[in-house]
Structure 1
């Protein structure tokens, strides 16, 4: 049997401070295929972001391994681009310069200056931010900042795109628009995406599979749900689809059962 593109194998994470030990994750196993969109959902404190940070190489493993495209993940790298809830843009740089910084870092020596400029503008165009390319972060809205963060991540041409509640701080309308944009981009580019979310509807709308985490400490994978909805997806069209309704009910039932437990 062929290995998955992204393989999380028996991963455990324990934090230690002095004599105090806190086991956050225990025996996490997850296989993600190339081009798949997988969401991770669970109650606060279940280690969702810890798991994402492990895949990003930002937190060391205590046990297990993360394998991406047949190579072990042991440190941060451009093949795993992260978009956080906080946009993390440099305020003294323009929109274009924020994206160009990442492009120059990844493609120095591989693309000419003209090619890096064109590639920067191409990725800004993907997220519909070309018109604002010369503005600074203080001059654009929260939703626009997140679009720039997504463009910066895509411009690195990562093997896997890691989204840590990227829409969590946005108002409902902006959130919906950005979700639609991410769906369009993922459908067009066939990105492999791993996303953390608290939002059930967001998980069902965007995902091919939803990974439901058990409560912490010592959190694990409680259930994995496939969302068998054709792409491209229209939020209004799928809202009444029986598959969507069943998937949404399954996730809510799991989360409420865990809360009661």
Structure 2
């Protein structure tokens, strides 16, 4: 049994005049425990919709999504989502933003001391213990995303869902956070599903890259295994033949899809 199973999923919305607008059509994907999967495709291909379905923020029209055999039909702490917008509460400190999630998930299952240790452990994972008493307005965008990741990890989810979490950051900050995510994945061995527009990011981080066809009624066009050993170092990888081939494969798929859009216009 697959850890996460997306089985023949269709997602549609009611359009003008009662017409059905099909966003996703017959999406099938199995994700194994500990796997890092990136989903890539052109705008409008339903990437974020698919992530929201896995997160339980939307319900499938037909088909099913199962995590460890249990059907996903509502949000839950077993699926933590990190969005492009960090969504931190501005009046709370870094520590208290993470504490909010820990209190919600663990309640009375952990003592006050255990919860504090757990919060500090997760802040340490993203190298943010030094800023634990600062508020979001006092730290950079990259630091805010680190706190968002710490808050998500502190929920001890079965799967971490990342919706273009670095899309609004500058290139250098983005690179540092990519390295941080690789370090976290290596240390915890957790399951990650990430939406991205960035080909290099997908190849650098993922074990597999899921390439979506164009919308409407998008589906999975190709799935690429990224056979690059871990740990990965971005500098030597830039000339690594396996990395270059994987990058070319994704780019070719995306350019072919782009030509289909232009031909239809």
Q: TM-score range by the shorter chain?
A: over 0.9
Aligned residues: 259
**2:263 aligned partner:** none
For 1:163-189, what per-residue CA distance to the aligned partner results, in whole angstroms no more than 9, with x for missing partners? 000000000000000000000000110
The ranges of structure 1 where at least 4 consecutive aligned residues each deviate by more than 3 angstroms after the TM superposition are: none
TM-score, normalised with respect to structure 1: 0.98
**1:7 aligned partner:** 5
TM alignment of 1:108-257, pairs within 5 A: 108-257=107-256
For residues 218 and 130 of structure 1, the distance between their equivalents in structure 2, rounded to whole angstroms, comes to 45
Q: What SS class does the counterpart of residue 33 from structure 2 fall into?
A: coil
Ranges in structure 1 where 5+ consecutive residues have no aligned partner: none
For residues 21 and 69 of structure 1, the distance between their equivalents in structure 2, rounded to whole angstroms, comes to 31
For residues 108 and 124 of structure 1, the distance between their equivalents in structure 2, rounded to whole angstroms, comes to 19
- Report whether the alignment pairs 1:16 with 2:3: no
For 1:53-107, what per-residue CA distance to the aligned partner results, in whole angstroms no more than 9, with x for missing partners? 0000001100100000111101000000000000000000000000000000000
- Report whether the alignment pairs 1:34 with 2:28: no
For 1:168-222, what per-residue CA distance to the aligned partner results, in whole angstroms no more than 9, with x for missing partners? 0000000000000000000110010000000000000000000000000000000
Q: What SS class does the counterpart of residue 210 from structure 1 fall into?
A: strand
**1:45 aligned partner:** 44
Q: Alpha carbon RMSD of aligned pairs, Å?
A: 0.7
For residues 258 and 215 of structure 1, the distance between their equivalents in structure 2, rounded to whole angstroms, comes to 7
TM alignment of 1:20-99, pairs within 5 A: 20-99=19-98
For 1:119-147, what per-residue CA distance to the aligned partner results, in whole angstroms no more than 9, with x for missing partners? 00110000000000000000000000000
